Every structure is written in C-alpha cells, then in structure tokens.
C-alpha cells in the first residue's frame, strides 16, 4: 500500500477551498497496479492539471506527488514535475496557478 499522506492533504485543501476536482484511487497489487490521481477542472469542467502518486511517478516511492498541466512552472522547461509535497502544490495554487 502506497503512502497517500500527501495526496490526502492535497484533497483536503481542495475541498476547503471549493476547487472542483475528481479523485481516482485504484488499488491493484499494492505496488505496480495501484493508481492514485487528483484531477482539477475549471468551473466549466475543463481539465487544468493533475497530481499523481503511483508506480513510476516521480517521487512515488516516498509518497510524493508528480504534477502535470497548468500548475507546472514554465521555467522548468518540462511538462511534468515530481518529488513534490502537497504544500509545494498548494503554494502554486495560492500563487494563482491551477485554480482558474
């Protein structure tokens, strides 16, 4: 079973701030087939960004999050960022990224 502390913390924040999202939790074999994802949408239901913590994601072995979408900082030069805590993701939301 993967440590979902950061995923749960991010979910609690999104609920508190009334940010529309969906969450997927699929438990497979306890490792390779597990899938944990939060997808954030705009007010019209369009995809903005997502955070994952499952086998192969950057930081999953430590329970950390990988993100993709509007919340990724452009200066990284990449389309995904990993090894993030919920606080790292929340900081971006509070900067005005990812909750348009």
pTM summary value: 0.89
User: Is residue 24 within a helix (H) or strand (E), and if so which, with residue range?
Assistant: strand 21-26
The more confident residue out of 32 and 66 is 66
Asked if residue 60 is part of any domain, the answer here is: yes
Asked if residue 99 is part of any domain, the answer here is: no
User: Residue 47 above 80 pLDDT?
Assistant: yes
Smallest CA-to-CA distance from 19 within 71, 62, 66 is with 71
Asked if residue 37 is part of any domain, the answer here is: yes
Asked if residue 12 is part of any domain, the answer here is: yes
Give the tens place of pLDDT for each residue, 52-78. 998 889 998 899 999 999 999 888 889
- Residue span of the structural domain in which 40 resides: 5-94
For residues 18, 19, 21 and 25, what is the CA-based torsion angle, rounded to 10 degrees? -70
The mean pLDDT of the chain is 89
Asked if residue 100 is part of any domain, the answer here is: no
Asked if residue 46 is part of any domain, the answer here is: yes
Average pLDDT of the residues in 75-87 = 93
The number of folded domains in the chain is 1
pLDDT recorded at residue 10: 98
pLDDT recorded at residue 33: 66
> Rounded to 5 degrees, what angle do the CA atoms 13, 44, 92 make?
35
């Amino acid at each position: 079973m993967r440590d979902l502390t950061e995923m749960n913390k991010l979910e609690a924040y999104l609920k508190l701030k009334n940010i529309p999202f969906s969450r997927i939790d699929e438990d497979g074999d306890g490792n390779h087939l597990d899938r944990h994802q939060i997808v954030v949408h705009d007010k019209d239901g369009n995809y903005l960004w997502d955070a994952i913590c499952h086998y192969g994601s950057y930081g999953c072995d430590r329970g950390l999050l990988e993100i993709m979408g509007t919340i990724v900082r452009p200066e990284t030069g990449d389309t995904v960022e990993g090894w993030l805590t919920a606080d790292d993701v929340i900081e971006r939301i509070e900067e005005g990224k990812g909750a348009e």
